[in-house]
Amino acid sequence: MSDALDIALRLLAVFVVFLVFPLVIGQTEHKVMAHMQGRLGPMYAGGFHGWAQLVADGVKFAQKEDIVPAGADRRIFQLAPAVALLPYLLVLVAVPIGPHNAVGQDLDAGIFFVLAVMGVGVLGSLMAGWASANKFSLLGGLRTAAQLLAYELPMLLAAASVAMAAGTLSLPGILEAFHWWWVPWQIVGGIVFFVAGLAELQRPPFDMPVADSEIIFGAYTEYTGLRFALFLLAEYAGIVVLSALTAVLFLGGWHGPFGADGLGWLWTLVKTVILAFGVIWLRVTYPRLREDQLQKLAWTVLIPLSLAQIALTGVVKVVISS
């Protein structure tokens, strides 16, 4: 019985993280963007720096009418937000937060699981783009698919480099094998992974699929109310997952200069939050890439870099073990 209780508690913890963290990231984005642009952002709701703006937004979304366009494919249109959001919940189950088995579920092929399930999330955008019966949505869906196909490969290769270095595919296993000098050793792979992840999440500067000055809001143009909020939530959940994964794979997760025993979870958290801040920072800093620049970056820069990283990893690994 205690086994079942243990599993239930772990899943509950993962679920709470899934419900809380994306919202915190969303509010942080409001405030950080505002301050970087020399304005204040939401200030009134709730009193202190407008912390309750999120609640107000949620209530607003819930009150709105849920519209399905007359020409749309009803069932797929309604299913799409769930397909976009749920994979990120599943991914969080496999991300370790601290040492001594502080993870939802230790999977033998954790890296594979995480990347595979993250790729499924994009199906939601494709379904939304096609089922909306709107040419802008369809264009957004097409761009999403092209972007996913281009950036999945460098992401996988960069993750494979870390797996090679550690000799295991399990995420806690990789952290067990981590040493501080892995950070400079794998830094190129880390940057490739982070950039490719940004592209997969369709965050600026890789937000061609939702380019609002060209195709309104891409695949999400026809969505209103709660379903639209779910797509936004999926984006923020994606930021959490990407930041946590980059922290775990390339920055040593729970390892830190001190406090390794009690404060491991805090290190993971700090690294994740710093990376998430970086994601927001990039959004306000860089203009959007053009579609051909986007593809060129993936195929001519990121993939060669990740292949070079794999070669470097292999050479160093052989030198160490001999």
Whether 237 contacts 22, CB under 8 Å: yes
In the complex, least distance from residue 194 CB atom to another protein, rounded to whole angstroms: 19
140 versus 189: smaller Cβ distance to another protein:
140
Residue 265's CB is within 10 A of a number of other CB atoms, namely: 15
Whether 175 contacts 253, CB under 8 Å: yes
Report the distance separating Cα 214 and Cα 210, nearest Å: 8
Whether 134 contacts 196, CB under 8 Å: no
61 versus 217: smaller Cβ distance to another protein:
217
Within 13 A of 121's CA, how many CA atoms are on the CB side?
A: 29
In the complex, least distance from residue 224 CB atom to another protein, rounded to whole angstroms: 19
273 versus 297: smaller Cβ distance to another protein:
297
In the complex, least distance from residue 104 CB atom to another protein, rounded to whole angstroms: 16
142 versus 201: smaller Cβ distance to another protein:
142
In the complex, least distance from residue 262 CB atom to another protein, rounded to whole angstroms: 32
In the complex, least distance from residue 143 CB atom to another protein, rounded to whole angstroms: 10
In the complex, least distance from residue 119 CB atom to another protein, rounded to whole angstroms: 3
Q: In 3D, which of 302, 305, 309, 286 has the Cα closest to residue 150?
A: 302
Report the distance separating Cα 171 and Cα 181, nearest Å: 18
125 versus 246: smaller Cβ distance to another protein:
125
17 versus 126: smaller Cβ distance to another protein:
126
Q: In 3D, which of 262, 304, 291, 314 has the Cα closest to residue 144?
A: 291
| Burial class of residue 310 in the structure, from the number of CB atoms within 10 Å of its CB (0-12 exposed, 13-18 middle, 19+ buried) | middle
In the complex, least distance from residue 83 CB atom to another protein, rounded to whole angstroms: 9
In the complex, least distance from residue 219 CB atom to another protein, rounded to whole angstroms: 11
DSSP string computed for 162-200:
HHHHHT-S-HHHHHHT--TTHHHHTHHHHHHHHHHHHHH
Q: In 3D, which of 139, 119, 120, 121 has the Cα closest to residue 129?
A: 139
214 versus 256: smaller Cβ distance to another protein:
214
Q: In 3D, which of 277, 244, 220, 211 has the Cα closest to residue 27?
A: 277
Whether 118 contacts 87, CB under 8 Å: yes
144 versus 186: smaller Cβ distance to another protein:
144
Q: Which two tokens stand for residue 142?
A: 């097409």
119 versus 256: smaller Cβ distance to another protein:
119
Distance, CA of 276 to chain centre: 9
Report the distance separating Cα 60 and Cα 96, nearest Å: 35
- Point out which residues bind another protein (CB under 8 A): 71-73, 76, 107-109, 112-113, 115-117, 119-120, 122-123, 126-127, 129-131, 133, 138, 141-142, 145-146, 148-149, 152, 156, 168-169
In the complex, least distance from residue 292 CB atom to another protein, rounded to whole angstroms: 8
